[in-house]
Structure 1
Amino acid sequence: MNIQYNVVKRRLAFKTIEGKEEDDWLQTNTGNIWFQQYPKDIPSSISYPKTSLPGILKTSAAAFPNHKAMSFHGNQWTYDELIKKVAAFSNELRNLGVTKGDRVAIMLPNTPQSVISYYGALMAGAIVVQTNPLYVERELEHQLIDSGAKVIVCLDMLFPRVMGVMDKTELEHVIVTGIKDALAFPKKMLYPLSQRRSKQIKVRINYDENIHRFEKLMQQGSQITPEVEIDPKEDLALLQYTGGTTGPAKGVMLTHFNLVANTTQCLQWMHKLEKGREKTLAVLPFFHVYGMTVSMNLSIMHAAELVILPKFDPEEALKTIEKERVTLFPGAPTMYIGLLNQENINQYDLSSIQACISGSASLPREVQQQFETITGGKLVEGYGLTESSPVTHCNLIWGRRKDGSIGLPWPDTQAGVLSQETGEFAEHGEVGEIIVRGPQVMKGYWRRPEETGMTFRNDWLLTGDMGYMDEDGYFYIVDRKKDMIIAGGFNIYPREIEEVLYEHHAVQEAVVIGVPDQYRGETVKAVIVKKEGEPLKEEDLDAFSRHRLAPFKVPRAYEFRDELPKTSVGKILKRVLVEEEQKQN
């Protein structure tokens, strides 16, 4: 089946960033510098596996069939058991008519089913569309329509939301599962009782030829691995949706090679890990590309055990680390802050922790130092974006690191700083837009050739983040070119929230900014001008927004003003509002 991705040619005029001038600059100003900082155990270039994502699972299952692959609330699966379940799910997808190139959406929290669905869909040759379980119908509808998803795997509690948009999309099949499906006896029997005690609303599901029970498919599916030819460098594995300041969320097209390459780079960076012996606290959402790569894919490639938690609860995380002797804990700053804020943290033995890569937001120095003192492990900050699978830079885990830096570019990753004044590569210490290229960089945006072209210059990905590189090759972020807010590890795009607020009949003008938050890093604040004579309270806007936005996007603070600062042509000066907020803090 031929899929038209609508990718434009990415060679565009870019002043000195072309041909010999570019190569000379890279040799003298960048690559040789940061590679000199690498310890001897990290190569500057890697030979990547010529395989697909299901291929890395096959390799681990063949080498470590009896090693634990996943554990979930006391239930465990070996690598041999996992690959058989993945094959069963893959074959059942094919029986439902899924063929190579079809899109399969997964709307699940971290559970064993999310791992099985992910690798099962890929094994069938499908393209995975990761869907945030917090999405409301409006957001879900856009993603399903834009991707053209044919099948969705969802949690039973989310079933009504899916059915609310199904008729507006190309969905043909819905596969439903629940937390109970992954529990072992006796927890499986007691789970319904706990749901009633928590007053969880029971969802009634009428199964038919289009609505399927996940457990039943797994029981009847053939465990023989299906043979689907996949070209890792050309075939898409993932449509990962990312928002933007100029329109609706876009599907980032990542190939099997993009994701395998980034996972391999990550393993090289964590060179002291022992294959088949590590345990990963898998609490970063798999539906986020960061959790997918640094938690799920890395663990599968290295035959580690995924110790899965469906959501982050500090007390539960501490208990799990101690009980399971977790060695790897990729996370976001809010998670480490949440643990450190537990008064009884010193009662837990966290000495098993070896390495943690923090992403999605800036890591405060005091958090890093305190966490390392308590655990004895290493916690470093990395950097990336959805368009690069996602990691491009990271501080050395076992080596020199610099405070405030996002670290060094990864093996085979080139990075530079583009001067906003000259359009040429910036000098050391000069602030400009960070640009990157490497094997992990996306193919483009799904069905958006114009936006793909605007995001690339001569194969360089424009990150939209402002920063600089020092004389040793370490990179620093100083600001975001875009207005994106990062709250609790989630990327939040103000324009989307502003458009929702403008739908309220009493709102005349609305602007959304990110404000400092001790726990979330940043949080969302809306500044509102009411229409004359219209009564409007903070409570009204909060209720209005919660019906139209995922919870993490809903403004946590509102400010009402008579007017907003503007330019002479009427453009709202958002930067003025941000600066005012910074002065108050």
Structure 2
Amino acid sequence: MKGSVAYRSIQKRGLHIGLLPAMAAAVNGATPITLDHDLDVLPETGRHLTVSRLAESVDDLAARLWAVGVRPDEHVVLHKRANADVWMLACAASRIGAVPVLLSPGLDAVTVGALLERVDRPTLLTDEAKLDMLAGLPLAELTRRVVIVSGERPRTVSLGAVAGAPRVRPVVRPIDEAAVITHTSGTTGVPKLVVHTPRTQGLRLKPQWRLLSLMRKRENVAIHLPFVHSRNVAAMALALLREMPVLLMKESDPGTVAELFLENRPGLVEALPNSLMAWEGLTEDPRKPFASVKCFSSTFDAIHPRTMSRLLTSSERRGALFFQIYGQSEVGPAVGRAYFRHSAHKVNGRCVGWQMPLGAAKVRVVSRDGKRPTERNPGRIQVSWPGLAKTYFGEEERYADNRDGDWWGTGDVGYFTRFGCLHMLDREVDMIPGVRSSLEVEDLVLARLRELSELVVVHGPDSEAVPVLCTHGDRPLDPDRWRAAVADFPQLADPVQIPEAELPRTGTLKVQRLALADRLKDRLENRE
């Protein structure tokens, strides 16, 4: 089977992640997959495997899940430490017709308990460390059964105890029924559970399938994404069907990343914006760990121009580009654009891209006050296409309230330029009176002060715009350099510097702005 044939089949029948490893093995079973860590559930696998070995492992794990009692249509909540076996176990659950529900390992016990209750007595698939963290929850009431990936614990069953279970035939779920459930970033409270179907997952492959088609040869692809995120589902499907060797990464420490890139020499890197930002210092490494990269790719948040420029400049590939996609879990890829080495530093970071070719998402900007949306009067960004997530599990009314017919409200505000480029200025809930765009301020100031590792402008106690900043190594910031850098923004209050480790973040490393604003308020009140 050729990858293009498999891709066309997915566009017709949907993406079933339980079938994906076997499908990819039929395309090219020898495609290598390299891990930077050991698997919890199958430690004997090691860190170097092939797609054929992956398919065999998923089939094995599917048999074990069946042996412990998991059946079609059941929900299997996966909550364990970050590891590539999260994705493999999700594929295994899907292979027997169950619906994997992927929860970030960064969630606290109270939030996990609330989501378990929302799913209504699922199977919980976890590990011993997370089981200890959840010790205060009434798991016997919240779950149908508790399964651990290895070891032995009372009132649980271990997948290790059913090794060698008889293989079972795959179960294919209907194309428009729930296939995988992930959750939103949780920047504004308890995360919402987003329902993806085979159809919506398959359609979301379109934009990046075209991007990968531009690469003239098969090159190593480094993927550094949360294993529980819907974007990881798409990234793995695309790489495997394009027969591209994968470096599947868990580690984010810059020193470790440098060694991995020097050893594996990726041609394409897909990572979170904040991970790429944290790796900026590697652009000054004389060993040039990014020299081999032809294409950087990122979704989730819009990325700062400073980061794109430094990464592209550090590549030694001719025509190196940074491809940014703007979207969210409910929407998938909405708009995108490419940035190049000699111009990335000059671009407006609020320009997140153009609508993609026929068959991809449609985007519009709707007025908030009856007047035409403009740069000075941004409107609400909405997206429409069949790739929209089906619903919020257990909160269907909340999902419906956010739809306007076929259109989904992203919660962001922005406008279209006369050239058709979408500019995203802010989340509507984060807008600050007197500040056109907090994100724009952050882009510009970060470009002027390379000593900053992060800058977030949030609501102060009196609705003023307070810049919260972090520096590399948590070194003190020169106040004169700060004043010079923000001379264009007199509406900013005095800055507050904190250690970067104290920034509240989501599982995708987004700063939780509302939580940060609350902490800032508490901090200022305690000073008084």
What TM bracket, shorter-length normalisation?
A: 0.7 to 0.9
- The residue aligned with 2:301 is 361
Aligned to 2:353: 407
Taking structure 1 as reference, are residues 46 and 473 closer, same or farther at Cα in structure 2, changes over 3 Å only? farther
SS of alignment partner, residue 226 of structure 2: coil
Contact 2:175 2:199 survives alignment (8 Å): yes
Match of 2:335 in 1: 393
| 1:308 corresponding residue in structure 2 | 248
Do structure 1's residue 221 and structure 2's residue 161 form an aligned pair? no
* Structure 2: distance between partners of 1:215 and 1:336: 37
Question: Contact (CA 8 Å) 2:30, 2:50: kept in 1 or not?
Answer: yes
Match of 1:62 among 20, 26, 36: 26
For residues 204 and 115 of structure 2, the distance between their equivalents in structure 1, rounded to whole angstroms, comes to 25
After superposition, the C-alpha distances for 1:468-501 in whole angstroms (9 at most, x for unaligned) are 11122211111211249999xxxx9x99xxxxxx
Q: 1:416 aligns with which of 364, 388, 391?
A: 364
Measure, in 2, the Cα distance between the counterparts of 1:270 and 1:443: 27
- Helix, strand or coil for the counterpart of 1:253? strand
The counterpart of 1:95, out of the listed 67, 82, 90, is 67
- Contact persistence 1:141–1:168 (CA under 8 A): no
Q: Which moved more, 1:53-62 or 1:319-328?
A: 53-62
Residue of structure 2 in register with 1:278 after alignment: 219
Aligned to 1:330: 270
1:533-548 equivalences in 2 (<5 Å): none
Task: Give the 5 Å matches for 1:21-36.
Answer: none
Q: Partners of 2:321 and 2:224 in 1: how far apart?
A: 18
Partner residue in 2 for 1:264: 206
1:232 paired to 2:175? yes
**Does 1:170 find its partner at 2:134?**
no
Structure 2 counterpart of 1:234, which letter? E
Match of 2:228 in 1: 287
Structure 1: which 5+ residue stretches go unaligned? Answer: 1-44, 179-204, 496-508, 521-538, 565-585
**1:14-73 CA-partner distances (Å, limit 9, x unpaired):** xxxxxxxxxxxxxxxxxxxxxxxxxxxxxxx99924232333333211111122134344
Q: 1:562 to 1:125 in 2, by over 3 A?
A: same
Q: Which residue in the other structure is 1:528 paired with?
A: none
* Cα gap change, 1:232 to 1:459, in 2 (>3 Å): same
- Name the counterpart of 1:373: 313
User: How far apart are the structure 2 equivalents of 1:303 and 1:164?
Assistant: 45
- TM-score normalised over the length of structure 1: 0.67
- Structure 1 Cα separation of the partners of residues 118 and 466 of structure 2: 28
Contact 2:182–2:229 (Cα < 8 Å) also in 1: no
Paired residues for 1:184-203 under 5 Å: none
- In structure 2, relative to structure 1, the CA distance for the partners of 1:517 and 1:285 (3 Å cut) is farther
Distance in 1, Cα, partners of 2:370 & 2:330? 25
Change (3 A) 1:244 1:209: closer
Aligned equivalent of 2:4: none
CA 1:158–1:480: 2 relative to 1, 3 Å: same
Q: How many angstroms apart in 2 are the aligned matches of 1:255 and 1:47?
A: 12
Please tell me the residue identity of whatever aligns with 2:305: R
| 1:23 corresponds to | none
Contact 1:84–1:225 (8 Å) recurs in 2:
no
Aligned counterpart, 1:451: 398
**Quick one: which amino acid aligns to residue 378 of structure 1?**
L
1:108/1:154 contact within 8 Å kept: yes
Deviation string 1:139-170 (CA, Å, 9 cap, x unpaired) is: 11111111235222324322202343243643
Instruction: Kindly indicate whether structure 1 or structure 2 has the higher relative contact order, using CA contacts under 8 Å at least 6 residues apart.
Output: 1
Q: Distance in 2 between matches of 1:429 and 1:173?
A: 54
Q: SS state of the match for residue 136, structure 2?
A: helix
Percent same amino acid among aligned pairs?
Answer: 16
Q: Distance in 1 between matches of 2:56 and 2:126?
A: 21
Q: Alpha carbons of 1:383 and 1:461: their partners in 2 closer, same or farther (altered >3 Å)?
A: same
Partner AA of 1:449 in structure 2: E
RMSD in angstroms over aligned alpha carbons?
Answer: 4.1
**Secondary structure at 2:352's aligned position in 1?**
coil
**1:130 is aligned to 2:130:** no
Structure 2-normalised TM-score?
0.73
Per the TM alignment, residue 437 of structure 1 is displaced from its structure 2 partner at its CA by: 0.9
Q: Secondary structure at the match of 1:416?
A: strand
Q: Deviations over 1:536-584 (max 9, x none)?
A: xxx9xx99x99xxx997675755333999xxxxxxxxxxxxxxxxxxxx
How far the C-alpha of 1:419 sits from its partner, in A, is 0.9
Task: Letter of the 1:50 partner, please give it.
Answer: R
**Equivalent position of 2:485 in the other structure:** none
**Does 1:211 pair with 2:181?**
no
Structure 2: 5+ residue runs without aligned partners? Answer: 1-7, 38-45, 432-437, 443-455, 473-497
The equivalent position to 2:120 in structure 1, one of 148, 155, 165, is 148
> SS where residue 347 of structure 1 aligns?
coil
Alpha-carbon distance change, 158 to 373 in structure 1, aligned in 2, over 3 angstroms: same
340-349 or 414-423, larger mean C-alpha shift: 340-349
- The answer to whether the Cα contact below 8 Å between 1:99 and 1:124 also exists between their aligned partners in 2 is yes
**What is the CA–CA distance in structure 1 between the aligned matches of 2:126 and 2:222, rounded to whole Å?**
23
